Every structure is written in C-alpha cells, then in structure tokens.
Amino acid sequence: MSDSSQPQRALDQTAFDEWPDSIRALFDGSSLASKTGFTASLLTVDVNQHIRTSLLGIGELYAPDSRTLCIALWPQARAARAIARSGRAALSFVFDDVFYQVQLLAAPLPSADGDDSGLVYMNCSIESAETQSVQYARLTSGITFELDVGREKVLDRWERQVEHLKRAASSGG
C-alpha cells in the first residue's frame, strides 16, 4: 500500500556519460531487420541559429564502444553541414519506455576503404546525457516508421552503411 501523503516525483531523470548496455545493444550494428522502425532525432543548429531536426534510422547509427556513436549522413544533409561547422549535435529518442537526450561532440571520420556510398561519417562522443521518465505514464514510442516498398534494398544499404561505420570507427576514430 502506498503512502498517499508522500508526493510522487513527477519526473525521474538520470544522467549518464556511457551508453547503458541496452542502448549499446541497440546501436551494435547487428540484427538491423529486427530494429527497423527505430528513429532517433538528430538536432543541430544551422548558420542562421535555427534548430534543425534530421531523423535517423538504425542503419545510420553505430556505437563502437560505451562512449561513442558513429553516424552516417548524406553529404547534402543540413545536419552534415551543421555538424561540420559546429562539431556539436544532440540525439534524442525513446527506447524501453524512456526518453533519451544525448549531447554529442562530433568530428569527421574518414571513409572506410572500399566505401563508395558517398556518405559522410561522424565520430561522436558523449558530452552529457540524460534519461527522463515519469511514474504516472509510460512512453510507448517516439517517432517510428515502417519500411514498405524497397525494404530489402534499404536493409542491404543499411548493412553496408553500418559495415562502413564499423571500419571507419576502427581505423580513424
């Protein structure tokens, strides 16, 4: 029986500087087909100081260790230009009923040998991060999507992208 005279904490926040094990497993580059639908919001600030959001799927994210996240971006993406200019971004997402927000310091990664994707790779380290949840409500999802037409082509591309991220991270991170 709970004591109703005790005020319930409205917001539970936890700071971290290393990926929790569940997030490392999410960003480990394996089993991408089972992780489709996961979406993270990459927030950057453009030259006009406008906040911009880019949505990333699981095939564009790879955590080679507990403090790093490698990201694959299209070179024409506003996020790629903003990160190249500022060296900063924030990543937010929902996973296992919890909201994550991670402040990242970013630097370019060299393309891996044999990479002809045209993608830009970023090596990001966790500057600061936190989780947020509330006891009275459960986050059931963030932004999610379904792969429809061309699902196999997208999954094949993601597999190649993550392999390139892995090689780039191991050779130049």
Tell me, yes or no, whether 146 lies in a domain.
yes
> Where residue 27 sits, what CATH number does that domain have?
2.30.110.10
**pTM of the model as a whole:** 0.85
Tell me, yes or no, whether 6 lies in a domain.
no
Number of domains in the chain: 1
Tell me, yes or no, whether 41 lies in a domain.
yes
Q: CA torsion 124→75→77→25, rounded to 10°?
A: -40
Per-residue pLDDT in tens (0 to 9) along the chain, 173 residues: 444 444 556 789 999 999 999 999 999 999 999 999 999 999 999 999 999 999 999 999 999 999 999 999 999 999 999 999 999 999 999 999 999 999 999 999 987 777 788 899 999 999 999 999 988 888 888 888 888 888 899 999 999 999 999 988 888 65
Tell me, yes or no, whether 32 lies in a domain.
yes
Tell me, yes or no, whether 1 lies in a domain.
no
What is the distance between the alpha carbons of residues 168 and 31, in angstroms, rounded to a whole number? 20
Please give the residue range of the domain that contains residue 104.
12-172
